[in-house]
Structure formats: C-alpha cells, structure tokens
Structure 1
Amino acid sequence: MTQSRRIHIVRPNETLSRIAHRYGVSIRTLAQNNGIRNINLIHVGQRLAIASTAHARPAARIAPATVPGTPGAAVTRLSGGRLSLTATDVLNIKKTLQTEWVQSAGADQAYGIIDTILNRTASQRWGRTVADVVNATNQFSDINGPISRRKGRRSVAQLPVSSISRRVDQLVDAYLAERAAGRGSSVGSHLNYANPQYSDAKNLAWINALDGPRLGRGNAIHHHGTVPELQRHRPGHFLVDLPDIAPTSAPVPMNGRRVDGNAIAAANGVSVKNQSVKLGQLDPAMEAAIRTVATVARQQDLPPPVITSGNDSRHKRGSLHYADKALDFRGNNITVVQGRALRDAVRAGLGSRYDVEFEVFPNASNNHLHVEYDPD
C-alpha cells in the first residue's frame, strides 16, 4: 500500500468518528490534520483531508432500526475474531455506562467499563448479546441488581433511552469508533471490576486481589482483573465491528406504554414551544423520533430544534397527532436547504416505519419538520 491523500466531503448524518472508522484512521489524527478543535462539531459539505495508508471502507449504509425478534433484526455475532455489535447492543452499552460511570472519575474509567462489557460479550459466558451480559443477576447494580430492583427494574430494556446523557452518548460513539479502528482494550481481556470503597468485607478479598488496571479517581476507583473461576472464560483477541445504523436510534418499545415527551425533549436539548403543546402521553415510538432529530441537528450544526405541536392545535381529520404518534419540530429559522438535509438524515436514521417531511409555508417562520410513526 502507498501513502495516499484524499478529500472527504461530509454528508448528512455523518460524524467524525464514523468517517475516521471508514478510512481506518484515529479520530485524533483526523481532527489534528484538519484543524478541528471540537470532534463533535463538523458541517455538512465540509472538506476533510484524509492521509492514510489504508484503503477506505465502503461507505456505511444508514439502515432503519429493527425491533429485536422481528424479521430482519440485526444479530450480535462473534466470528473469525470479530465481535459485530448491533444498534441495540450500542444503545445498551450507553444505558449501562450511564449507571456505572462516575463522570468526575475521568474518561479512562468509562473506557474500562465499556471494554469489560465487550469482553464479557465476546466471552459468551453470560450470553451472546450486551443485554444478556448486563442483565445477568447482580452483575451491574442498577441494571439487575440491588439498586435497580428497589426501583422495580430487572433489565436494561426497562431503562428509558432518555436517561442517556449527551456526554455518555458521545463518549460511547467516539470510543467504539476507536475500537473499531483498531484501538486495543484498556483492560486487556479482563472480565471483572469493582470499587473496594463501596464493597463489604466479604468481597474485599477478591477485589483487592484483582491484578488489572485501576481506573478512576478518589473514592471512584475501579479495580479491574479476573477472578480465578472466570480465568478460562477470558476472550482471545478480537476486533469490534459497528452497526451501520446510527447507534442513538432506539428500538421502538412494543409494550403499549406511554412516555413523557417533555422529559425526553429536555434530556436531549430540545425545547418545547409552550405549555399548550401536549407531549405528556406520547406513543413510545416518538422517543426515538425526538432523539434522532436532536442528534441530527447537532451533527449538522443546526440550532436546537423546538417542538411546536404534539396532540394539540388543529390538524386534519384522522391525523396521527391525535394518536400521540406525530410531532412538529421548528428548526429555529433554518433555510429550506438545511431543512431538507435535516429531513433526509432523520429519514435515514428512523427508517421506513416513520414518515418524515419538511413542510414549507409562505411565511417561512412556519416551516417545520413533521415526523410521525406510521408503520403500516
């Protein structure tokens, strides 16, 4: 292979981490070579210089999200030294990290948690998916352990997507892209970690015997290693393959519950026009819609979206607004070109179960993105 230099033009819904993964370079190198100070901020149409000895991977197709258990759903795979993650796996890593990471302890602690989850998934000792791993009894305290059970939860699926902070969302995406580009595990092949500061005397002996890295700060220190009875389950070397779908797109819950759109919007930096906008009893499918619109708006460097209509206002007869399955988002004076780029990226992220339109009016201040859940 010879040293090559090429230009990549940023397209809608692309992130720096995914571009780096495509060309086999690190995010840090790509950012430094292009004078990018904030790796979470690139623009559609921006030209990036790529210097790499590696051939570009085929561009990832942004596939629609699939509901586990339905035809066409992606499957977690371990084959040929490669661990292939699904979008649901990535989402569940984010949920779990949100409960396990003491953010003031630094990013290295977060990397150790992520790598332990990946190692456990690759070991197949606890099952074949991230959900199997983190749902194992008493392994992750706020997923299916003492803390979660006091709250009436016994699985990662019961944690709302809205619980994931923007910092956790971005850190997981960036770090998994680094792993996919060849970065090694921060904890080797180890399978255990624990904090001796919050453990009883019965567990201190095995925790203090762990001989892996110690990650964190102050009282938020994780001792990593592998207990003797699990040594035979440590995985061999493996590479990580990421899903083609943007990991922040949530699978649609199918249990008929309702979600509070106001809370979901607030957690994702989306404003609500005023109190007359009714979002309190949204269909759960709209949680993914709010998150996807918010994510794409950030990726395209657009102003934060504003929800202007839920189950309120006047809509045509039979409108899905009245079934809490439709939302209107104002783009805060974005242009029609920007609105259509937003529409295209949101369509790609949500898939065919949703209808997405950027509606244009004589009074440009009324232009908005309409998103509805209409799987039929």
Structure 2
Amino acid sequence: MGGTITSWSQSSEMVAQCSRVSLREESHESEILSVNIESWLSTKTSSPLVSCVNFGNGPVRADVISWFEVEVTKDDYPVIYHDNFILHEDKGVIVEKRVTEVTSAEFLSYGPQKEPGKLGESIFRKTKNGRIFEWKVEKDAPLCTLEEVFRNVDQSLGFNIELKFDDQIVYEEEEVSRLLQAILKVVFENAKDRPVMFSSFQPDAAQLVRKLQSTYPVFFLTNGGCEIYTDIRRNSLDEAIKLCLATGLHGIVSEVRAIFRSPGAVERIEESKLSLITYGQLNNVPEVVYMQHLMGVEGVIVDLIKEITESVSNLTQPTEGEEKGLFGEGGKMQLNAKPQFSKDELSFLPKLIPELIHS
C-alpha cells in the first residue's frame, strides 16, 4: 500500500502541504499491514511512504509524504494497522480479533518485537475470499502506535491519517467521537509543525473530525460507485460532493474509474471549490494520468514513481516547435503534448479505455 501523488494544479497552501494519500489495494496480498519506522528513518523509500510531485508555474518538485490507516485499541491507543481484524495462531487454531477489541499491549505483542531477535506471535491475514495465510514480508518491523510514528519519523515528513472504520458495523456517534478524540489527542500533542491531513471512507467519521477540529484539512475517500454500499453517500461522486459541501470537507479522493465513468463530475467538483485526487491501478498508466491532467484532476496516486513523474514532467513542457496535438504519427499518444480541448472533446477521452474502466 504505497504510491505517489502527482499533482499538477495550483492548490491552496493548506491542500498543497497536506492533501497526500496512497494507493490502496484492498485485496492485494502484498499490502503493508503496519508502518516500518526503521525503513522510514533509514531510507524514506519503504512502501508506506508516498512521494508527492507538485506542478505549478515553476519546476517540478518532489516531496515525500506518508499515508497510513489508524485504528484505536480497547484501551484508547491509536495504532497503525491496515486490517480491521488481527489474526494469530493459538494451539494450532487461528484466532481472529478486532483491533478495537484488543489492548495496546496485546496488539504490540504480535509479530517482530523491538528487542533484537525477539519474535511475538505470528500474524495471519484473511483475503476477501476467506483464504488465510501467514503474514511474511522481505523486511518486517514491529507494530507501532500513532504516537511512536510522530515521535520517531522526521518532522519534515507529512502524514495523511486515514481514519479506519469497519464497513460491517453501524457506529453510534458517541462511539465514533470517542475513537476520534483518542486520535486527535495524539495528533495535537505530537504534530507540532508537521503537515497533517485526515481522510476516511466513513462519511460520519469524516464529518465529525471536521467538527472536532479546524486545524487540519479533511478529505472524503470514495469508490465513487465502483462498489455499492448501503450508505448512499458512498455510492457516487455527486453524493461525495454533497457530503463535502454540507459538512465543510476540503476535498475528495476518488477511485480513478469513477472519474472516467462520470467525467462531468470533475467540473462539478472544481465549481464546488473542492480539491480532487484519484487512486487506483489505472493511475500506473501514463496515458491515463495524462487524460486526468486534461480533465482537470488536481493529483493522482501512483505506484510507478519514477516513470509517472518523468512522463508528467514531459507532458507539462511541450517540445519547442512541436504541434500540440494529442496523437502523433501512427496514432501514438504524445505525452509531451498539451493540447486544449472543448468539454465535448474531453468527455470523449474516457471512452478510449472502457474495458479498463469497467474491469
């Protein structure tokens, strides 16, 4: 779970500093479960990190930002973890517990420990189809709390804190407030001058964290209708716009396929003075990134940092004397071209990749 945000538009200072998120692949087995602080401190290139490329009137600038999911343990400690459940083996039987139902001490007892050579109980994962496997990666590190991340990661590294909630649970506002207050306490005690933003797929959590504080921007994460939920606020970009406008959120982070299915939503989001960033596997295709640039999307989240950065850098600086058309000889898309399109022409662009949009 890592990626790059490539941003090409002029945003407000707050959004430019804070609106960074990372590609999430809910069903991919190589996701990052937790933050590897050691890699953060040594190389700043481990997969929980996000390199953000900004495009304004000046030269391309790359920043590094981290996006991670935060949950709150039974004893009110915010911890970094991707899944709603933590699985371990007890006497040959796989035991499954919600992260919110274990204490911080129990949570931190799983997996590698801080003491050299010491290992806690092995962590297992369950895929969407129910398959269970032991969690093994090439380079692992101990589980950690949100406070540890704030204290041990370089202050210049910005954080996008995703507020993680279980889609299968209907939360009372009092419970959501309790969880958010625990997170906010750690943030306000440790953030100092670090750029921070909040984001969430849970509409009520996004709305409430906006009410509880006005220091940091809040973004609504949405599949934009690529998956259907019982909560209609999660099922379209127009619903996302309504939520943001009604609750004072700063912007939307959308699955890229939703943008191509409803290209007109990009203009509506811009007219609503909301920021728009996209995520998804399609963002690893340079032509798809370029299309979004033409459509007016402010930033994209990608895995292929170097390739996409170079492509977007080229497309923002047309070759001198070159005809500014989208397609060159042989019908090949010219990434260094930056043509101007009418609304009708822009609406045609998504039709070029329908098999990808609906996959």
TM-score (norm. length: structure 1): 0.26
Structure with greater Cα Rg: 1
Bigger fraction of residues in helix: 1
TM-score (norm. length: structure 2): 0.27
